Amino acid sequence: MKGWILHLPWDDKPEDPYSIVRFREEAQKDGIELDVFRPEVFDLMVTREDRKSILVEGDAKELPTFLMPRMGAQTTYFSLAVIRHLERLGVHTVNSSVAIDTVKDKLYSQQILAENNLPVPRTILVKFPINADMVEKYLGFPVIIKTIYGAQGKGVFLADDRNQFLDMMQLIEVTNNKANIILQEYIEESRGRDLRVVTIGGRSVACMQRIANEGFKANFSQGGRVEPFQMTPEIEYLASSASRLMGLDIAGVDLLFDREGRFKVCEVNSAPGFKGLEEACEINIPKEIFHYIRIRLGQIRR
């Protein structure tokens, strides 16, 4: 079996990212021939004749059995076009282009979750001029400010009060008033901690708690620590439902701690990192993913 991973270049770093090292390791054990490409090496030629190959740096290359895009929120139009092209040529894609595109947009994915009755923080799309009274009435202060396409905690800001909120909005308005920003109810109970659940094929396979060293953001990439967290039926149900609603084969679901031991779905990621998760929990993520792909392809080995 042949698989391709689509990944952003990491030329600036001396070593391969953890996820790539792990995918390669497990692919080798499983007899999978795995190649990693950055989207830019592909030339998309749309024709009805050749449907067995694709141009890679100008040369026709035989199609793989499966494709695993790993660019998450950084999936550009070009990358998405590459994924769609391979899908159209019949390559089994985990995750699909539609699902990746859906979760890239934090507002759109919240709309789908809310439509399906899953608990989410109340969320408003920003428009200028800002109506601070409305924000105060419906979300209150402190309030969370987020870019729609952010990742790794980089586009998330907490405004403590009305003045700080207005200052931040002014800064955004003069810098780029076309930026797509959402405002979100601040879930106080979750300050500096949250849960990350990874789902494969809609099944919750591992859960960890992420705890920030300082500040309110619990992302592992922001320097927090992680520990295993006992999966409850509620956690399992929320994460599985969220990933299925998004149509994701593989997902990283962020859950916020709410009052009275409840949870709210913070966001869903299409290419979750799993270094922290494999450290915290006894789980082999690439192995589980390859196993799932084989099941989907009807190639299960015993």
Ligand X SMILES: Nc1ncnc2c1ncn2[C@@H]1O[C@H](COP(=O)(O)OP(=O)(O)O)[C@@H](O)[C@H]1O
254 binds Mg ion (CB under 5 A): yes
Picked from Mg ion, ligand X, none, the partner binding residue 111 (CB below 5 to 8 A depending on kind) is: none
H/E element, 107: helix 106-115
Of 17-25, 203-211, 259-267, 277-285, which part binds Mg ion (CB under 5 A)?
Answer: 259-267
Rounded Cα gap, residues 86 and 89, in angstroms: 5
Picked from ligand X, Mg ion, none, the partner binding residue 144 (CB below 5 to 8 A depending on kind) is: ligand X
Picked from Mg ion, ligand X, none, the partner binding residue 289 (CB below 5 to 8 A depending on kind) is: none
194 binds Mg ion (CB under 5 A): no
CB atoms near residue 298 (< 10 Å): 6
Q: Which residues pair with 123 in a beta bridge?
A: 184
CB neighbours of 259 closer than 8 A, spacing ≥ 6? 189
Residues that bind ligand X (CB under 6 A): 121, 144, 146, 150-156, 184-187, 190, 194, 216-219, 254, 256, 266-267
CB atoms near residue 204 (< 10 Å): 21
Restricting to residues 261-290, which ones interact with Mg ion according to CB under 5 A?
267
Of 58-66, 95-103, 246-254, 289-297, which part binds Mg ion (CB under 5 A)?
Answer: 246-254
CB of 42 or CB of 209, closer to ligand X: 209
Per-residue b/e over 90-127, b at no fewer than 16 CB within 10 Å?
A: ebbbbbbbebbbbbbbbbebbebbeeeebebbebbebe
Rounded Cα gap, residues 19 and 25, in angstroms: 10
Picked from Mg ion, ligand X, none, the partner binding residue 241 (CB below 5 to 8 A depending on kind) is: none
CB of 26 or CB of 254, closer to ligand X: 254
CB of 102 or CB of 219, closer to ligand X: 219
Count of residues engaged in binding Mg ion, rule: CB under 5 A: 2
Distances (CA, A) of 297 to 6, 22, 33, 80, 235: 20, 22, 16, 23, 29
CB of 169 or CB of 266, closer to ligand X: 266
